[in-house]
Amino acid sequence: MKDEKDKLERQTGAAAKNPRQDRLKLALRENLKRRKSQARGRSDIVIAAGNDDGSPDAANGKKPGQ
């Protein structure tokens, strides 16, 4: 009899935690998406910054031939 009561309490407790777990799952998923997007944005900036032609004139802001 006690086992049946414990089983019923566990089922009720699990059902009560599902909305919380669902909210946490959703929040974690959104956080991961946001972090991935930020990482992609940072890598785009690094790639764009590395696209100079490597000439000494590019480093000081002068155009070649000036």
- In single-letter form, the type of residue at position 44 comes to D
User: What share of residues in the chain are helix, strand, coil (percent, to 5)?
Assistant: 80, 0, 20
Largest CA distance in the chain: 93
Q: What is the pTM of this model?
A: 0.43
Taking the C-alpha atoms of residue 7 and residue 2, their distance in angstroms, rounded to an integer, is 9
> Tens digits of per-residue pLDDT, 33-51?
999 999 988 887 777 666 6
Q: Which two tokens stand for residue 31?
A: 């956080």
Both structure tokens of 17: 């935690």
* Greater pLDDT, 30 or 63: 30
Q: What is the mean pLDDT of the chain?
A: 75
